[in-house]
Chains A and B, each alone.
Chain A
Amino acid sequence: MKVRLHPLGDNAIIIEFGEEITIDIHKKVQRVSSLLENHSAQWMIEFIPAFSTVTVFYDPLLVSSLTKQDRLPPYKWVCNELQRFLSSATIEETPAPRVVEIPVCYGGEFGPDLEFVAEHNGLTPEKVIDIHADGDYIVYMIGFAPGFPYLGGMPETIAAPRRESPRFKIPPRTVGIAGRQTGIYPIETPGGWRLIGRTPLPLFRPDQNIPSLLRAGDKIKFKPISLEEYKSLEEESQ
């Protein structure tokens, strides 16, 4: 696999797979992430996958104790290790992605901006819901907040600009649109997204082994639900 390595300060290395956001690059990121997940190198602290990169964090002190013989500086040594590791990595067919269904109660008090998004695109609110729920989405990466998915695949026909003045508080689990992106806020945050609905599913689950409902590589389907369904699902998940 052809990659470029860049230092991120004195204890991390960015593995770069390309300079754009494409499915092809995403698959490489996924492949290497899953290999790193099962590769228990002593010197590795953790890794962070993103759109076109995977960043690997290391402990220079531990590395220096491993390199006593060849006396390579820690950064160079880790680069060599990574190159060796990556040269054996092939772009095999990755296992089929998980498909996660996210029930969403659109509009009403949960989606105060649904009307705006509809008007902005010359559509009815019902049509916006249809288009949003009909899309095939892929989780490119998790970042910004715990469990927050950067999703690809929203149809441009429901794109909408951010608010000029961000809201101070957006309730957790709110579904929003910003430009050509859609996303779900896992925790209460300020933000300028257009809010169109809310899911009863908690995205951030600090008490679980994997604290994020979604993982990079997942496929997502949004499913419109009624307020009654929302309430009973919310009760269940608490």
Chain B
Amino acid sequence: MIRIMKPGLLTSIQDLGRYGYQKYGVISSGVMDQLAHRIANLLVGNSENEATLELTLIGPALRFERDTLISICGADLSPAIDGIPVQLWKTIYIKSGSLLTFGRNQSGCRAYIAAAGGFSVPDVMGSKSTYLRAGIGGFEGRSLNTGDEVLFGMQSSLSAKMMDYLRKQQTDQPFSQLDWSVSSGLISFYKSNTKIRIIKGRQFDWFTKDSQKAFFSVPFQVTPQSDRMGYRLNGSKLEVENKAEMISEAVSFGTVQVPSNGSPIVLMADRQTTGGYPKIGQVPAVDLPLLAQAKPGDSLAFEEIPLEAAQNLYLKREQEIQHLKQGIILKFTS
């Protein structure tokens, strides 16, 4: 069990999302950064969809009341256990009674804490994700508060093996971590990609030539009116040639739509299921983690990518994740 000593800015339980109910207007929710969430789970022997804690900019303080395995991935919010800094992207054995805290935001916006066995909250419509607005899923349908106690789920046999391994290396420190790390490609992605790729949207041609050009040449700023639902961007005003009425239709994670004020909105994990604004572009799945780690004030530059190329990059990414998964299984089961 973990006890929440301080909640942080917005700490909620999320998994990979709620699917199959969007036709009833039920949003998918789920983590903003699927890559960091999945790696965090793999590092503690969980399945990739297991629920994690999503932290936002200011992390919580958590008291662990049982020995377990954890990992922290995504944004660097200066995690420390009993005051001793711990590394991101590692498998950590944490002892009962230890306090996990966070400090200065070094990079990124959202960090994910996975624990062996995940967090034990009920499935609502097939998912543990918190749907904040409707007050369902996750921990009592809300973000975590001081005093909340969250139970761990059932550990996998892989987690148990990893724990045995680390227990043997125990020192007098409140934790120990595997010296072994995630292949660099998956992590360096966050730093090396400065531009966000964009597949042209269905209404791209509706926009004036100037707006089309500006969209790909002038960076946009993430405004403070940005949250799990969507990022409102500030920059060039994007104008449509003829003010045609659009008929509402489905939108998805990463859709960039432009309301009549000309400022684009990128739709994120808590987006509505449908939208009625022209879609100038779409951030492909492979670059959504970059977006999830952008914070208010950050600058985003867009560059065009053809659909097929975006899918190829996605398949390549999935392969890397598979390698990581296989690597962990091999190390602990052979």
The chain B residue sitting closest to A150, CB to CB, is B248
Taking the complex as formed, is B136 at the interface, i.e. its CB lies under 8 A from any CB of chain A? yes
Q: Is the CB of A45 within 8 A of B308?
A: no
Q: Are A50 and B136 in contact (CB under 8 A)?
A: no
Closest 5 pairs between A and B when the two form their complex, measured CB to CB: A55-B250, A143-B274, A9-B282, A212-B24, A48-B250
Flag if B311 contacts A48 (CB, 8 Å). no
Cα A21 to Cα B248 in complex, Å, equals 10
A10 at the interface (CB under 8 A from B): yes
A166 at the interface (CB under 8 A from B): no
B272 at the interface (CB under 8 A from A): yes
Interface residues on B, range: 35 or more
Interface size class of A (residues with CB under 8 A): 35 or more
Within the complex, which residue of B20, B26, B255, B311 is in contact with A60, where a contact is CB–CB below 8 Å?
A: B311
B125 at the binding interface (Cβ < 8 Å): yes
- How far does the alpha carbon of A186 sit from the alpha carbon of B311 in the complex, in Å? 37
B23 touches A47 (CB 8 A): yes
A164 within 8 A of partner (CB): no
User: Cβ of A53 < 8 Å from any Cβ of B?
Assistant: yes
Tell whether, in the assembled complex, residue B284 and residue A9 are in contact, meaning their CB atoms are under 8 Å apart: yes
Decide: A14 near B250, CB < 8 A? Known: A9-B255, A75-B307: yes
Q: A143-B25, A204-B134, A206-B136 are in contact. Are A52 and B249 (CB under 8 A)?
A: yes
A residues less than 8 Å from B272 (CB atoms): 143-145
Q: Are A145 and B315 in contact, CB atoms less than 8 angstroms apart?
A: no
Whole-angstrom distance between the alpha carbons of A150 and B274 in the complex? Answer: 11
Query: Is B108 positioned at the interface, with any CB of A under 8 Å from its CB?
Result: no
A51 lies within 8 A of B248 (CB): yes
What is A's interface to B at a CB cutoff of 8 Å? 6-12, 14, 19-21, 33, 45-53, 55, 57, 60-61, 64, 73-75, 141-148, 150, 186-187, 189, 204, 206, 210-212, 215-216
Residues of the B chain whose Cβ atoms lie less than 8 Å from the Cβ of A215: 24
Q: Which of B25, B125, B135, B315 has the most CB of A within 10 A?
A: B25
Task: Report whether A57 and B26 are in contact in the complex, using a CB–CB cutoff of 8 Å.
Answer: no
Would you call B308 and A142 a contact (CB within 8 A)? no
Cβ-defined contact, B199 with A9, below 8 A: yes
Q: Are A187 and B134 in contact (CB under 8 A)?
A: yes
* CB <8 Å contact, B24 and A142: yes
- In the complex, what distance in Å separates the CA atom of A49 from the CA atom of B250? 8
B310 nearest CB across to chain A (Å): 5
Which residues of B from 84 to 100 have beta carbons under 8 Å from A?
A: none
CB 8 Å contact bits of B242-260 with A (1 = contact, 0 = none): 0000011111111100000
B314: chain A residues within 8 A (beta carbon): 10, 60-61
Considering the chains assembled together, what is the distance between the CA atoms of A220 and B125 in angstroms?
26
- Which A residues touch B279, using CB under 8 A? 8
Q: Are A142 and B23 in contact (CB under 8 A)?
A: yes
